[in-house]
Amino acid sequence: YTGDRSGKAEADRLKKMRVKDYQSLPVVVKEVSTVYDAIVTMFLEDVGTIFVVNDKDELSGILSRKDLLRASMGKQELENIPVSIIMTRMPNVAVCFEEDTLLEAANQLIHKQIDGLPVVEKRVENDETFYGVIGRISKTTITEAFVSLVNGDDETGSQL
């Protein structure tokens, strides 16, 4: 390997990485699920962020580890509190799209100080916009992509 070692090739490949090539499967609960169910789901699925959908499977909120911890500090029965009471609610949920670059997603994680983003597809019904949840981007996703950049096993076809 005698090429340019300034890192320009890596930077170019980084800018071409897209959400759709690195996203993982979303973990989702219904609005009517209880906080207890969400905690069980978070442990079983081994994720840090859970997405909440309404009865039409549209994104309605998001739950983090600390949201669930905070709810657990109260005296209420966790089996009696619906997640809709404690979640961060739309339109305050930051989202990304499959065609976004991973760099755009990473910038949102940093600037909004969050651990994960739902990957969504837009649905327009009667002039109203809804989002269907199709994937998940987390700090782990970004870390894996970062490593794949050097190992050359990313989708942009490089060999170091």
Q: Which residues bind ligand ADP (CB under 6 A)?
A: 49, 62, 64-67, 88, 92-94, 113-117
Q: Shortest gap between Cβ of 126 and ligand ADP (angstroms)?
A: 25
CA distance 158 to 153: 7
The Cα angle at residue 73 between residues 67 and 77, in degrees rounded to 5: 95
Q: By C-beta, is 18 or 136 nearer to ligand ADP?
A: 136
DSSP string covering 61-118: EEEEHHHHHHHHHSSS-GGG-BGGGTSEETTS---B-TTSBHHHHHHHHHHTT-SEEE
Q: By C-beta, is 113 or 159 nearer to ligand ADP?
A: 113
Q: By C-beta, is 89 or 123 nearer to ligand ADP?
A: 89
Q: By C-beta, is 51 or 149 nearer to ligand ADP?
A: 51
Q: Fill in the amino acid letter for 35.
A: V
